[in-house]
Amino acid sequence: MIYLVLFFAIIIASVGDAALKMSNGFQRLWPTATGILVYFFTFYLLSVVMMELPIGITYATWSGLGVILTAFVGVFFFKEKLNGKVLISMGVIVIGVVLLNV
């Protein structure tokens, strides 16, 4: 169950990342407000997860998988490109997260 909460925090953080990109450097009110609120909720969920999981595993999982999900958000919503080095690096991140959680 706690990994479900962590996964939800990862998804929400990626929404916050997208909102911050859309905020144009905090120049647009609604994306800025959305990003701030979403991060507040994400950090709350992380604090709940850390009551059961070690901080290192929680943060490594959240940040590692969040980087990957946010990169794909960039591809699908902002037309960004991923090259071979990025994809290989993502694979290494996944391997590291899996090894930390095993």
Q: Which of 43, 41, 44, 21 is nearest to 32 (CA)?
A: 21
pLDDT tens track for 19-49: 999 999 999 999 999 999 999 999 999 999 9
Q: Which of 32, 15, 12, 1 is nearest to 74 (CA)?
A: 15
The pTM assigned to this predicted structure is: 0.90
pLDDT of 102: 87
Q: Which of 13, 3, 14, 5 is nearest to 101 (CA)?
A: 3
The Cα-based distances of 15 to 83, 87, 92, 98 in angstroms read 23, 21, 23, 23
What are the structural domain ranges in the chain?
2-101
CA gyration radius, the chain = 14
Kindly report the average pLDDT of the chain as a whole number.
96
